[in-house]
């Protein structure tokens, strides 16, 4: 399945001096994407899984000199590695800190080595690197679950994508049958989420949502919880799991600003803060900061004591919430559909900017603030067609933004300086 990050990999190929590291949560498709890229773009390709190939891992314990490493790999694997036309993929590189350190020396070598690497929890590894991380010597790219556009591409809906983009730019109403089709596909995406294995299962199930194997989502969550224990001290792993499992409850609250007391009634920031940092670095969860000022740069005005936490994938949130898919498809649970919708928008916006902000003023709240073409734009999210909102109206009256965005089930439009963006067109925002 096509992923947008492939275009960034192609750009890296043109100037590959720095090794490339692909960071993302488990099951987002890192290994598949890098393998596919290597096979398509280079004459020779060597795959090394450092978690399984202990003999290769041991080489890094002995040396971090690139020429020596390559020489020993040639012997162990009985291959000849020509740096001019061979790319090497070190998978699960997080298991060897020495291998990560060696990337600096591969970058500085006179030989034109082409190195890519990936691994589970690489974000955590980078944050907790005990020695000196090769800053400035590695190109880091982030991979997230498939967004709605990538989902449509996988479904072969290229014409629909083009139509959505055209109407996003023009603000003209999309023809009703096409609008309804796009909304139906959106509801299915809300259930499936963006994990490649789920979208692939939907396709192989002949696009019948009732035949999808939702146990696959449960297995992903189980693997996440297993990682929390495998790569942490036992007590920290337990706290990581407590926070992760509490997210559906946090988001369902009327005021869903994160509170440690929802995780555990006796919880305190000092006890759980490291666990939350671990989850954020793992890319399993996303953080949306409260900004005390709706001015640029938003990051400069962040209130460090107030923030929201979202799951990195709306489908996993549905699964973790134990919400039956039919409740979303048939609009039986409007309240929690609103929770999933807000999480979906957060994921879409975060994948572009790696930052999320919300804003409070007086007694009102704006769901998201984003910077578009130099302007701070307020975004309001609605899961249905009812779009009345005193918060957005008061924001417009008080701050007079260049324009505002309202995301809902309603069609495209532009009225009263509010740009109406259908839920299926969120991927168009801030392209």
Q: What does the pLDDT look like over 65-105, one tens digit per residue?
A: 999 999 999 999 999 999 999 999 999 999 999 999 999 99
DSSP state of 38: H
Q: What is the CATH number of the domain that holds 55?
A: 3.40.50.300
Beta bridge partners of 291: 302
Q: Are residues 286 and 414 in the same domain?
A: yes
Residue 267: the pLDDT is: 73
pLDDT band of residue 291 (cuts 50, 70, 90) is: very high
pLDDT band of residue 235 (cuts 50, 70, 90) is: confident
Q: Are residues 19 and 128 in the same domain?
A: yes
Any idea which residue has 């792993």 for tokens?
Answer: 237
121: left (phi over 0), alpha (psi -120 to 50) or beta: left
In a domain, residue 378? The reply is yes
H or E segment to which residue 83 belongs: none
What is the rounded CA–CA span in Å between residue 222 and residue 216? Answer: 10
Residue 334 has pLDDT above 90, yes or no: no
Residue 387 has pLDDT above 80, yes or no: no
Q: Are residues 95 and 232 in the same domain?
A: no
What is the rounded CA–CA span in Å between residue 1 and residue 41? Answer: 17
Q: Are residues 402 and 272 in the same domain?
A: yes
In a domain, residue 405? The reply is yes
DSSP state of 427: G
DSSP state of 308: E
pLDDT digits (tens, 9 = 90+) for 254-278: 888 999 888 888 778 888 889 999 9
Beta bridge partners of 358: 290
What is the rounded CA–CA span in Å between residue 218 and residue 137? Answer: 37
In a domain, residue 207? The reply is no
Report whether 121 contacts 224 (CB < 8 A).
no
Report whether 120 contacts 228 (CB < 8 A).
no
Q: Average pLDDT over the chain, rounded to whole?
A: 93
Q: Are residues 417 and 289 in the same domain?
A: yes
Q: Are residues 242 and 348 in the same domain?
A: yes
Rounded mean pLDDT, 188-212: 97
In a domain, residue 137? The reply is yes
In a domain, residue 391? The reply is yes
* DSSP string for residues in 91-144: ESGGG-HHHHHHHHHHHH-SS--EEEEE-TTHHHHHHT-SS---TTSSEEEE--
Query: What's the alpha-carbon Rg for the chain, to the nearest Å?
Result: 23
Beta bridge partners of 21: 117, 140
pTM of the model: 0.94
Tokens linked to 394: 């008061």
Of 142, 158, 183, the residue that ends a domain is 142
For 85, list phi and psi in degrees, rounded to 5: -130, 15
What is the rounded CA–CA span in Å between residue 3 and residue 8? Answer: 10
Residue from 349, 355, 358 nearest 291 by CA: 358
Cα dihedral angle (321, 327, 329, 334), rounded to 10 degrees? -90
What percent helix, strand, coil does the chain show, rounded to 5? 50, 15, 30
Q: Are residues 247 and 133 in the same domain?
A: no
Q: Are residues 136 and 230 in the same domain?
A: no
Q: Using alpha carbons only, give the angle 195, 197, 198 rounded to the nearest 5 degrees.
A: 70
Half-sphere exposure of 190 (CA within 13 A, CB side): 30
Domain of 89, in residue numbers: 5-142
Query: Please, which residues have CB within 8 angstroms of residue 154's CB and are 6 or more apart in sequence?
Result: 1, 2, 146, 199, 200, 203
In a domain, residue 255? The reply is yes
The 3-state DSSP class for residue 273 equals: helix
Of 142, 173, 196, the residue that ends a domain is 142
Any idea which residue has 């890094």 for tokens?
Answer: 60
Q: Are residues 407 and 306 in the same domain?
A: yes
Q: Are residues 329 and 222 in the same domain?
A: yes
Residue 431 has pLDDT above 70, yes or no: no
Of 142, 158, 182, the residue that ends a domain is 142
pLDDT band of residue 294 (cuts 50, 70, 90) is: very high
Residue 135 has pLDDT above 90, yes or no: no
Q: Are residues 394 and 265 in the same domain?
A: yes
In a domain, residue 302? The reply is yes
Number of structural domains, the chain?
2
In a domain, residue 195? The reply is no
What is the rounded CA–CA span in Å between residue 307 and residue 42? Answer: 44
Q: Are residues 380 and 237 in the same domain?
A: yes
Residue 335: the pLDDT is: 82
Residue 19 has pLDDT above 90, yes or no: yes
């Amino acid at each position: 399945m096509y992923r947008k990050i492939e275009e960034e990999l192609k750009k890296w190929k043109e100037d590959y001096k720095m090794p490339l590291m692909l960071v993302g949560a488990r099951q987002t498709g890192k290994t598949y994407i890098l393998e596919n890229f290597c096979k398509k773009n280079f004459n020779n390709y060597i795959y090394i899984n450092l978690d399984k190939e202990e003999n290769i891992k041991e080489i890094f314990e002995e040396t971090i000199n690139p020429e020596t490493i390559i020489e020993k790999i040639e012997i162990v694997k009985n291959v000849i590695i020509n740096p001019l036309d061979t790319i090497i993929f070190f998978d699960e590189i997080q298991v060897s800190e020495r291998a990560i350190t060696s990337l600096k020396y591969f970058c500085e070598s006179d030989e034109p080595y082409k190195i890519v690497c990936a691994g589970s929890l690489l974000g955590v590894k980078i944050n907790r690197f005990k020695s000196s991380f090769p800053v400035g010597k590695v190109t880091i790219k982030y991979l997230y679950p498939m967004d709605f556009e990538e989902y449509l591409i996988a479904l072969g809906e290229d014409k629909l994508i083009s139509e959505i983009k055209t109407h996003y730019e023009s603000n003209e109403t999309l023809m009703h049958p096409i609008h309804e089709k796009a909304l139906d596909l959106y509801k299915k995406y809300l259930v499936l989420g963006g994990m490649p294995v789920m979208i692939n299962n939907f396709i192989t199930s002949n696009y019948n949502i009732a035949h999808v194997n939702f146990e696959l989502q449960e297995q992903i969550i189980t693997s996440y919880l297993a990682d929390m224990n495998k790569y942490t001290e036992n007590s920290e792993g337990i706290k990581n799991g407590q926070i992760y499992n509490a997210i559906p409850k946090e988001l369902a609250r009327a005021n869903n600003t994160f509170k440690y007391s929802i995780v555990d009634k006796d919880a305190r920031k000092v006890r759980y803060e490291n666990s939350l940092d671990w989850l954020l670095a793992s890319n399993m969860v996303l953080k949306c900061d409260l900004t005390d000022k709706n001015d640029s740069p938003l990051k400069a005005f962040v209130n460090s004591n107030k923030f929201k936490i979202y799951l990195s994938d709306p489908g996993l949130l549905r699964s973790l919430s134990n919400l039956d898919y039919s409740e979303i498809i048939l609009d039986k649970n409007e309240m929690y559909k609103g929770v999933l919708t807000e999480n979906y928008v957060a994921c879409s916006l975060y994948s572009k900017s790696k930052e999320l902000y919300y804003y409070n003023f007086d007694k009102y709240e704006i769901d998201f603030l984003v910077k578009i073409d130099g302007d701070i734009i307020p975004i309001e999210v609605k899961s249905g067609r009812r779009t009345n909102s005193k918060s957005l109206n008061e924001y417009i009256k008080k701050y007079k933004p260049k324009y505002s965005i309202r995301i809902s089930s309603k069609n495209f439009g532009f009225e009263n300086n509010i740009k109406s963006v259908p839920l299926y067109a969120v991927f168009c925002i801030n392209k």
